[in-house]
Chains A and B, each alone.
Chain A
Amino acid sequence: MASGDALIEHLLRRAGFSAGSDELASYSALSYTQAVNRLVYFESVADTVDSNLGQPGFLGTTSQGPFSPDTLISDARQRWLFRMVHTNRPLQEKMGLFWHNYFATAYSKVAGSVQALDGARLMNTQIDLFRTLATGNFREILLAVAKDPAMLIWLDGDTNTKAAPQENFGRELMELFSRGVGFYTEDDVYAAARVFTGWNLKRPSSLTDPDGAFSFAYNANQHETTAKTFSFPVYSNGSKTIPARAASNGMQDGIDLITALASHPETATRLVTKLYGFFVSETVPPDPGFISSLATTYLQNDTVLKPVILQILTSGQFRDSSVYFTRYSWPAEFLVRAIKETGWTGLSAGTCLTPLVNMGQDLFEPPNVAGWPLGQAWFSTGAMLARMNFASSLAANQKFRLATAATAANSSPTALVDFLADRLTVDLSSSVHSDLVTYASAGGAWTGSDTQLQAKAPGIVHLILGSAEYQFV
């Protein structure tokens, strides 16, 4: 349906958040390989997006006072949406969202421990960490997450002591962050809890202390020093036991365990399968050979993810048109794509926050450590109405701009529908297309006047954004 390069549009929906017309044109000028490289090697593109906050021509923000994303969670949410809409490093921002779901940490518990201001700061710090390590070495990501202040609070690492080892982080490290359910035992959980004893949080002496940031601190006095034995190998010689160590050296226990977990084949398979579901398809099952090849790439590259993602995006599986529009969009993806494709001038990110909650994805507030339930789970009746109603608000907000843009397509109801369907990069069935033309034709003779366009263009945009087809990326 869309007149642009369908493969480039597919790439941008998956490795980014789709694109407005100017951005799409800049990618369409590249070869596919060049476009992938621009997305994957994002370090070579300057990250200037934050400097556009508050500037005319960009998505707006609404704050209670001075915009302060580092200390107010609603501003932090707006800044993230702004970055998703306007970043010139789409894949980096997309991986931030992937990791936010993978290492799902909720602001409410963090703020409950350190108050709202530092809660927002620590959540921002965590997302920045995910941006920095977006496609980096998974071992380093796990290690950074294990020391991340928000995570130390979220999974109670800050209270993990030798007298009473805390199981929360150790369990989720194996269940959700690496090997997966069925590949560890309860005894492994108890051992992992002891491994991370003393991986605590340093709290500032006072909240007004300018240097008093929350940070990770290894507390040797609280480390349990005896040997820890697992059901799986921890060392390359096959040993399953982390040896007893002096407390002063005990932090090495956790580094050893994370190093082992990151390079286990179970972790490799689990992680690349999740990346397949994220980038390629949720409805077309992966070819086992492809998964195995991706896992091999991961392991042969010392657990670095960039080669894996590059392999995915350049694969025949990813490029096959049968996988276009076969992933259920996350609410944040739906919302950002709708904004990028419809228009944003005069719109505030502040008005997007409640709709996102109603659609089921309150950023910085995943329902639990396993993240959001994906796929069909996004699509309850209530959540579907929330998507349709955001579409309505957006179309109303962009009413005049849409009508102006559609002036060139005012020759007939069909021309208007085709113009808007192209703008929204959607693959509509002929029956839906026919319904839209019927709607565009309803209520009197077609004149193509500004008044008619100001009613029909937002009406059509609303209906397309609320259609089943548009819910897929």
Chain B
Amino acid sequence: MKRRTFLKNGVAAFTLSFAAPAFLSDLARAQGATRRNLIVLDLSGGNDGLSMLIPYTDSFYYSRRPTLGVPAGTVLQIGSDSSGKALGLHPKLTGLKDIFNQGRLALIQRAGYANSSRSHFSGTDIWSTANPSNTTGSGWVGRYMATLPAPLDPLAVWNTTGDTPHVLQSATVAVASIPSITGYAFNSPNSGTEATYEKAAAVSIASHVPVDKPHVAFVSTTAQAAMATLSRVASVGTYKPSVTYPNNGFGQALQAIAGAMAKGIGTKVFYLQTGGFDTHSGQDTTADAGAYVKLMVTLNAGLTAFYNDVQNLGMMSDTLLLSFSEFGRRISENGSKGTDHGAASVMFAMGGGVRGGIYGTAASLNLDPQNPTLENSAGDVHYETDFRSVYAKVIDNWLGGDSVGVLGGNFKKTGIEFV
């Protein structure tokens, strides 16, 4: 559930020429001092963290969720947090539990910020820009990429969805949007040499960037980037994964990411999204056909396949996946057997460099309006870890960047050394 605010100056315009693309361009190789990548996963719609990481010994969890409480006997127990609260994963997250047991999955509880927005659009903008007070600027990942030596390779940032998400936007870094590898091709109404002439003409036409018409220039540079990246993207289509990915959008996007990594095309940041988390009604956390159950099955199957495939590639130590969602959900279920928009929720990080475990403490769900772990008259979970502190860890400890510069402030925090 996203709405994007585009930068006044537009999303990155290409001004360089794209002569390079071999499989791994020199440019990409020069910037590849580290092969580390970051995969940003957007659980779109507002994920109900309390159904994903379940406080199954909290009686208020069950009294406030008479139909949505996941029975204690079915949760996948993963121990207790530092406050001693016992926690379990949703019963369908069996693969993620294995990854947790291998020490490669970190769960960061109660991530959020003060005065949490309950709007899908403002919330997504805030999580994307890492700036709750002004969401018209660039995305935090875009700002990090802009700190790398220019010019960046046009495939440095690979978006697996159709349009550029706010989190990737920046004034200087272009984003390749590749929802389908097979569709990422240049067709022609002619064949043979005639088609070759046409392709040459298309490349030339896209190279004209009229300075007096920035909007036309923007589209030209997009076309230019598309033409320049065709062969490298096509190479990803030849990837033969070592596991079978689920045949859904999420699974296929993860397969493309693994393929891009395996083919070494030089991408440093990937973005993917899986939606359906806006569970206002019929959330059903237990039946096989239940809405939330299906969300967990999709998430678990995709991430487990990806984890195993990347392990087999020997690339897990270079891989970090970080999730976010625009908000958590109301603690008490509503009359539609769903949950309305809430505040803080759980984030997770998965990868070879992750120090697995449960970070932060769970909220107490008792209805006392003075309960300090809740807000909105004990209606919603109050944040404990500023989400920007999580980003700071990723920027500083994984990407080797400067979180203070990228985030516009010092959000470093101890106690969440998950990476």
Contacts and interface: CB of A to CB of B under 8 A. Distances in A.
Interface string B246-281: 000000000000000000000000000000000011
A360 B122 contact: no
A468 B281 CA distance: 43
Contact of A385 (B183, B189, B205): B183
A439 B215 CA distance: 25
Contacts of A455: 190, 194
Interface stretch (B330-338, B345-353, B366-374): B330-338
Interface size class on chain A is: 35 or more
A379 B219 contact: yes
A255 B228 CA distance: 55
A442 B376 CA distance: 70
Interface string B87-131: 000000000000000000000000000000011111000000000
B223 A384 contact: yes
A459 B118 contact: no
B223 A382 contact: no
A386 interface: yes
B16 to A, nearest CB: 15
A171 B117 CA distance: 12
B160 to A, nearest CB: 9
A310 B336 CA distance: 44
Contacts of B154: 381
B3 A370 contact: yes
Contact of A163 (B187, B335, B338): B335
A282 B215 CA distance: 9
Given A382-B179, A468-B206, A463 B198 contact: yes
Interface string A371-392: 1010111111111111011001
A75 B226 CA distance: 32
Interface string B213-233: 011111110110110010000
Contacts of A168: 280, 340
**Interface secondary structure of A, over-half rule:** helix
A439 B11 contact: no
Given A393-B187, A431-B208, A466-B202, A382 B219 contact: no
Interface string A168-183: 1001000100000100
B188 A379 contact: no
B260 to A, nearest CB: 14
B198 A439 contact: yes
B301 to A, nearest CB: 20
Interface stretch (B54-62, B170-178, B397-405): B170-178
B132 to A, nearest CB: 13
B324 to A, nearest CB: 16
Interface in B1-31: 1-4, 6, 10-11
Contact of A468 (B159, B184, B188, B216): B216
The 8 closest A-B pairs by CB, nearest first: A164-B335, A380-B177, A159-B336, A396-B189, A439-B201, A468-B219, A370-B3, A381-B226
Given A376-B218, A389-B186, A468-B219, 17 more contacts: A156-B338, A159-B335, A164-B336, A171-B119, A181-B121, A181-B122, A283-B215, A326-B215, A358-B183, A379-B222, A382-B162, A382-B178, A442-B197, A443-B194, A468-B205, A468-B220, A472-B215
Interface of B: 1-4, 6, 10-11, 44, 118-122, 154, 159, 162-164, 175-180, 183-190, 193-194, 197-198, 200-202, 204-206, 208, 210, 214-220, 222-223, 225-226, 229, 280-281, 333-336, 338, 340-341, 376
